[in-house]
Each structure stands twice: as structure tokens, then as C-alpha cells.
Amino acid sequence: MAKEIELFQMRYFLKCGKLKIVTNWAEKHGFSLSDEISPAMIDEYDLFARILAMQGKETEAIHLNDRSLALAEKGSKRRNVIRCIMLKSLLLTKQNQMLECFQTLEDALSMAIPNGYFRIFLDEGAPLEQLLRQYVKARRNHYIKRSERVNLDDVKQILEAMMRIRLSETPSEDFQKTAKGSELLLTRQEKNVLHLMNKGLTNKEMAGELGISLSTVKTHINHLYRKLGVGNRMLAIKKAQELDLLSD
């Protein structure tokens, strides 16, 4: 738990531009580009790559991030893979490699959206919000080809959520004010999916139970995550229980 708290604090300081504090943290732990990265240390080296980028060492940061990505892809945590790919897209913008940046961003979005990993994007803040807006504009202006992997409506939903967080001084309180009406905002089928999710059914099992396609189930789940303000199944069930959305 102490490790998670420390990383949270360092990410906060990094977002605030307090480079000296996070640089001292990296020096204290002795991080270097020649380190052998272990799966348990991916979060630390994600932060170290960001520090390098803030120091103007984008090439070194990309190299380090590529190593973390290769390690994450061998593991079982999709969240780490998505976050590494997303970070690479942000690093590429610093080198003005926009075409490769957009392609990399699409890789992250195509993995995250169908599986409900929205929180990774929401936590990133302003730099990613700006990049997503550039991506939408590039798609509309045909600077990049239309992608079958990423629906722009899904990207717009992420942007809307990011904007709400940015504009709200107390996002958690704001959510609580509207949360009581969440049940009214859920469609009948979304409620059905929520109940089946609570019973532990897989996406495939829910599709069979409801007589709908697997992709439709994933769409309902994504909508549930967005409306409940969560990023995964466990948190969705927890939030639904808090809001008494699972009672018959």
C-alpha cells in the first residue's frame, strides 16, 4: 500500500509540473535506462519514462517505454499494455511524429474501449485530452484513414468525460448528485446486463442469455461503465450496489 501511495503522489507532482520533486524521487531509487525491468516494477518505470520526457529526453523515454511494453505484453495485465501504448503516443507527439502517434493511439483505444478501460484515459488529464481532440480532427479532415477499429462516438464519450472532470471542482461530489438518477438513465437492456454481470456471467454467456450479439453486450457494458463512472466490472458492481441498482 505504501508503494501505491508513493506512486500516486509522484504522479500528482508530475502533473503539477514539480519536476524537481519527481527527479529526486527517481534519483533516490536509483532508476536508470540500463536497469533490468521486472513485471512488478512496470508502474515505477512508466513514471520514470514520463520524468525523462519532461527533462527533454523523449528518445530515451520512448526506448524505456518500449521495453516496458514488451514486458507488459508477456504478462496478463491488459491495463499495463494499454497504458504503455497510450504513453508512447504521447511521447511521439513531443517528437512531432503525428502519423505514427495517431496509429499508436488507435492501438490503445482499440484495446481499451471494447474492454471498458476508460479510467486509464481519464486519469491522464489535459495532454491526452488535447491529443484525442487532435485525433478526432485528423479523422474528420481525412488526415488519417477512417479506422474500423475505433468508433469516433466512443472517443467523443471519453472526451466528454474528461471535460466534465476538468470543469468540475469536485467531480466526486458532482457524481454523487447525479448518481441517484442513474437507474433512470440505464436502459432496460443495460439493467439486464448489470444483473447478469453481478451473477458472474461472462460476456459470451450474457450474449446467449439475452439473445444478442457479443459486440452488443460489450457496447452495453461500455455504456454502463460510462454512466456509473467506473472503468471495470468489479467497480461497476460495487457502484451499482452502493446505488441500490441491483435490487429486484
Q: How far is CA 129 from CA 116, 182, 225, 226, in A?
A: 18, 25, 19, 16
Q: How confident is the model over 128-139, as a mean pLDDT?
A: 94
The pLDDT of residue 56 is above 50: yes
- pLDDT, position 184: 39
- pLDDT, position 1: 54
Interaxial angle between packed helices 126-140 and 152-167, expressed in degrees from 0 to 180 and rounded to the nearest 10? 150
CATH topology for the 179-248 domain:
Arc Repressor Mutant, subunit A (1.10.10)
Q: 21-35, 68-82, 178-192, 199-213: which range is least confident on average?
A: 178-192
Q: How confident is the model over 142-169, as a mean pLDDT?
A: 83
pLDDT digits (tens, 9 = 90+) for 159-213: 988 887 776 644 444 444 444 444 436 788 888 999 999 888 999 999 999 999 9
Residue 30 DSSP label: T
The chain-wide mean pLDDT, for the chain, equals 85
pTM above 0.85, yes or no: no
H/E stretch holding 173 reads helix 171-179
Query: What are the boundaries of each domain within the chain?
Result: 1-76, 179-248
- pLDDT, position 136: 94
Cβ neighbours for 56, distance < 8 A, ≥ 6 positions apart: none
Residue type present at position 81: V
Q: Grid coordinates in use for 29? A: 531509487
- pLDDT, position 173: 44
Q: How confident is the model over 52-79, as a mean pLDDT?
A: 91
Phi-psi label, residue 202: left if phi above 0, alpha if psi -120 to 50, beta otherwise:
beta
pLDDT digits (tens, 9 = 90+) for 199-243: 889 999 999 999 999 999 999 998 888 888 788 888 888 888 777
- pLDDT, position 245: 79
Rounded-to-integer distance, Cα 167 and Cα 215, Å: 32
Q: How confident is the model over 138-163, as a mean pLDDT?
A: 88
- pLDDT, position 177: 41
H/E stretch holding 99 reads helix 98-112
The pLDDT of residue 89 is above 70: yes
The beta-strand segments (E) located in the chain are none
Q: How far is CA 190 from CA 3, 12, 115, 214, in A?
A: 37, 35, 16, 14
Q: What percent of the chain has pLDDT over 90?
A: 47
Q: Grid coordinates in use for 142? A: 481525412
Q: For residues 164, 165, 167 and 170, what is the CA-based torsion angle, rounded to 10 degrees?
A: 120
Phi-psi label, residue 116: left if phi above 0, alpha if psi -120 to 50, beta otherwise:
left
Task: Dihedral sign for Cα 106, 108, 110, 112, please.
Answer: negative
Q: How far is CA 92 from CA 57, 101, 108, in A?
A: 12, 5, 14
- pLDDT, position 49: 95
Q: For residues 208, 211, 215 and 218, what is the CA-based torsion angle, rounded to 10 degrees?
A: -70
The pLDDT of residue 36 is above 60: yes
Rounded-to-integer distance, Cα 178 and Cα 223, Å: 16
Higher model confidence: residue 45 or residue 243?
A: 45
Under 8 Å between Cβ of 41 and 71: no
